């Protein structure tokens, strides 16, 4: 398994972990009507999905050469 495939798997595992953490932590609205949620996990999850996809494409492209 080459480096880009390992990066793809690691990034995918991180995306699953951060997405799960977002779902498990949940959202709540306090008594003042303010929404509290772990919003920072959303862009991190999407970033890790993108890194995983790009690394997977790179891994396949390097394997064909």
For CA atoms 31, 34, 35, 37, give the dihedral sign.
negative
**Rounded to an integer, what is the distance from CA 52 to the centroid of its chain?**
8
Please, which pLDDT band fits residue 43 given cuts at 50, 70 and 90? very high
Burial class of residue 63 (count of CB atoms within 10 Å of its CB; 0-12, 13-18, 19+): exposed
Q: What is the pTM of this model?
A: 0.84
Model confidence at 13: pLDDT above 90: yes
Please, which pLDDT band fits residue 56 given cuts at 50, 70 and 90? very high
**Domain with 22 in it:** 3-26+35-64
**Where do we find the tokens 């959202």?**
27
Specify the number of domains making up the chain: 1
Residue-level pLDDT at 1 = 76
């Amino acid at each position: 398994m080459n480096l880009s495939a390992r990066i793809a798997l690691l990034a995918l595992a991180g995306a699953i972990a951060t997405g799960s953490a977002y779902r498990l932590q949940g959202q709540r609205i306090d008594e003042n009507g303010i929404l509290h949620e772990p919003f920072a996990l959303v862009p991190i999850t999407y970033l890790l999905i993108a890194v995983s996809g790009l690394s997977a494409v790179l891994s396949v492209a390097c394997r064909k050469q």
